[in-house]
Structure 1
Amino acid sequence: MSSVYQHFRKEEQGFIDRVLGWKQDTETMYAPKLTDFLDPRQVFIVQSLIGTTGEVRAAFEGGEGAERRRCLIYPDYLQPAFDDFNLLLIEVSYPAKFISVEHKDVLGSLMGLGIKREKFGDIIFSDDKIYIVVAQEFSSFFTMNLNQIGRNAVLVKEVSWDHYSPSDEKWREKFVTLSSLRLDVVIAGAMSISRQKAQLLIQGGKAKVNFKAEEHPSFECGEEDILSVRGFGRLRIGEIEGKTKKDKYRLKLYTIG
């Protein structure tokens, strides 16, 4: 087991245990297991531990181009279909001509209702509407309880997937060569700022890793981490392509902002 842990962070061991438990249950019961919504780093861990071949496999769905997705861990006899992921789409209407609503406002209102983040997927702004991908088993809670965002009244209803359109955010691919995978080094290299400025932003509470605040510049980044820095946008770490002859890391990054 320790050989598995060594490839991941110490704080990820609890999630690793859960994934291995899901895999074992599927092997033993020969029946599929559907998870909550996973962030990209968690998806990467599941893919690393289970993969898409063998007697137990993993598939993911959250809508086209989704960042957060549910995972179906299934025996190889099964051919997963979209309906197996139990996803519903809810539409949030608000007076867009008179008020401005941001992603953080929606997220804050949902969390304020006691809804755990893993129970819903991407939040998508499209024209004058907001669409939220939710777990089918909790959809009625959303439609019955989400009646305002901030101080503004909203109308919520379930809609068909015909209304769904992927986020229009465009990830830009770039390659960087870095001396290490420290958070301050990655942010500095990806966002073309000095390492000292990156450290100040991190220590000032303006950086997040996988949607959680991270104030330690020495934090070690990994594949499929999503980093965001207030005022500078977001980036996702793709492949870590090894080291150069000068012992530097070559990374594929995707940036927004």
Structure 2
Amino acid sequence: MDIYQHFRKEEHPFIDQVLSWKDQVERNFQVKLSDFLDPREQKIFKTIIGNNPEFTWNLVGGGETAERKRAVLAPYYELLEENRFEITLLEGTYPTKFISLSHRDVLGAILSLGIKRKKLGDLYVDNGVIQVIVASEIEPFIKMNLTHIKNAQITFEEKPFSSIMEKNDEWISSHTTVSSLRLDVVVKEMYNVSRQIAAASIQKGLVKVNFRVVDSPAFVLEEGDLLSLRGKGRAKLSDIHGLSKKEKWKITFEKLK
């Protein structure tokens, strides 16, 4: 079976990477630890590795509702204990009376240090508390260098994962029909905007599909795709139910409340 035919062309490099990990574990009995994977990458990883009895694997992101996770792939006889995933929870506080910080502010401050997004897991900002899950190898660097965000002075400390602020996301489900699975057509329905506004937003780089900017209105969506429109929140194409008698696609999508 050609695994590539089941995924988009732009995903082929990541498929090659997972196949390389698989080969190294199989040939050299190595244990492979990935960077943080987004949900789409996790799906690809699971599809390629499957239930092969020669391997043991898991995905861990620090909490029950973690979105971004590190993968460990190992020979079947290995025990994948928690410390094998090498993730750390850092927490800092700031005075909400004097300053307001958003998820975007914190992420931007971390990335401005030259840290790559793949080294970061989930990030939470709420009521003066910042929690960020990081690859353990960059923990000392962040603690030493991330001392200010905007005008707030912040000191990050390692915390146990038992203290993590879990997400309580609520998704609202809707059923509709669309003339095609083009990105502009589906964005129009999901966000209740005109098709012209949907297309313009896409072309301006305001729309992401599976955490990557897509600037082509003609991009064709697939079941399970996660979308976001800047300023309008997240949505996901949960199910594609096939064509109606009027040759329209019946879909179910969810929007984050």
TM-score by length of 1: 0.89
- The equivalent of 1:9 in structure 2 is 8
Read off the aligned partner of 2:43 and give its amino acid letter. Answer: F
Does structure 2 retain, via aligned residues, the 8 Å contact 1:41–1:223? Answer: no
Cα contact 2:56–2:77 (8 A) shared by 1: no
User: Which residue identity is paired with 2:127?
Assistant: D
Q: Could you tell which deviates more after superposition, 207-216 or 113-122?
A: 207-216
Match of 1:202 in 2: 202
What secondary structure is seen at the aligned counterpart in 1 of 2:115?
Answer: coil
Task: Rate the CA distance shift 1:26–1:249 in 2: closer, same or farther, 3 A.
Answer: farther
Q: CA deviation at 1:244?
A: 4.7
Aligned counterparts, 1:127-166, within 5 A: 127-166=127-166
TM-superposed deviation, 1:223? 4.1
The alignment-based identity, stated in percent, is: 41
Paired residue type of 1:49: I
Q: Aligned letter for 2:196?
A: Q
Is 1:71 the counterpart of 2:88? The answer is no
Q: Which amino acid aligns with 2:197?
A: K
> Over residues 82-127 of structure 1, what are the superposed CA-to-partner deviations in whole Å (9 max), with x where a residue is unaligned?
3321111000211222111011111111110000000010111233
Asked if the contact 1:44–1:224 (Cα under 8 Å) also holds between the matched residues in 2, the reply is no
Structure 1 counterpart of 2:108:
108
Structure 1: 5+ residue runs without aligned partners? Answer: none
**5+ residue gaps, structure 2:** none
Aligned to 1:184: 184
Secondary structure of 1:155 counterpart: coil
Give the Cα separation in 1 of the matches to 2:33 and 2:204. Answer: 38
Aligned to 1:222: 222
Report the Cα offset of residue 23 of structure 1: 1.0
Look up the match of 2:122.
122
**TM-score, normalisation: structure 2:** 0.89
- 1:32 to 2:52 alignment: no
Check whether the contact 1:123–1:132 (CA below 8 A) recurs between aligned residues: yes
Letter in 2 for 1:199: A
Shift of 1:247: 4.8
Q: Number of paired residues? A: 256
Contact kept? 1:32, 1:74, Cα under 8 Å: yes
The answer as to whether partners of 1:176 and 1:190 remain within 8 angstroms in 2 is no
